[in-house]
Amino acid sequence: MIDLHTHSIFSDGTNTPAELVSMALERNLKAIALTDHDTVGGVAQLLEAADGSAIEAVPGIELSADCKRGTMHVLGYFIDHTCRALLEKIETVQQGRQLRNQEILKKLNKLGYVLMWSDVEKLAGSDVVGRPHFADALIENGHVKSRKSAFDLLLAKGRPAYAERERYSAKECIELIRNAGGIAVLAHPATLNLPPDQLKGLVKGLTECGLGGIEVYYAEYNTENMKRFGEWAKEFGLVCTGGTDFHGANTPDLKLGTGFGQLRVPDEALEHLKAALK
């Protein structure tokens, strides 16, 4: 059993990379990939923690791509986390995040949900502050009761405290990952909120841009999702990958490796990724 989609304190998870390795060992996983949002800050720690253990650690990233509706993320596996071009592009993304965060804070205060920047920053646990940390600050300050209510009421796309930020196109994300020696995979395609025919057309177009895989196994998928995405993977010659999208204590019911209990990512998914790299 493997898990190719996890997050640490370097983005919006609650566990250190070393803790993720320990948890993976406890749950008898064979491999784990760290795919923090727009950062490779935790990759070195993951590789160090897994060195000499029974866990194969996969250096990864999850890049946010520009899209008109829904959410599009592109996962990168087996990237060179020291690649200068990758680090420079990530720095640009982080600068955009900082500007967006300032705008969110202004909007929240204007709406009467008073927060200080320090309220948000202390909950981040890393240098990558995102909307989940604003949600946590809103909870801690008594404005809302849960992350879900924070997003539904204020922070989700289209809600009053939402602020857009600069993102690379999906094609640019794919090129960035490939230029860093990795293989690009479309994460949780269902979150794009597109009709099946439009989503399939998008996947086909991304494949022509160099996409190497699609996330077929995912904690929140139903059987229909997995069947559909698996068929597309076969049709377009993509690797079927998957993972839990583990965030630690932020989603306590979702477990590393098994998601909500039903998820099983085939071990051969990792071998297929390696083969595709060659």
Cβ of 47: how many Cβ atoms within 10 Å? 16
Calculate the alpha carbon distances from 217 to 32, 45, 46, 242 in Å.
14, 26, 23, 4
Cβ atoms of residues 89 and 179 within 8 Å: no
Query: pLDDT tens digit string along 14-72?
Result: 999 999 999 999 999 999 999 999 999 999 999 999 999 999 999 999 999 988 778 89
Give the neighbor-by-neighbor strand order of the sheet with 2-6: 2-6, 31-34, 56-65, 72-77, 183-186, 213-218, 239-243
Taking residues 101-118, report their average pLDDT. Answer: 93
pTM listed for this prediction: 0.87
Confidence of residue 12 (pLDDT cuts 50, 70, 90): confident
Element (H, E) at 14: none
Residue 126 above 80 pLDDT? no
Burial class (CB in 10 A: 0-12, 13-18, 19+), 139: middle
Residue 125 above 70 pLDDT? no
Q: What gap in Å lies between CA 43 and CA 103, rounded to an integer?
A: 30
β-pairing, 213-218 vs 31-34, is unpaired
Element (H, E) at 120: helix 117-124
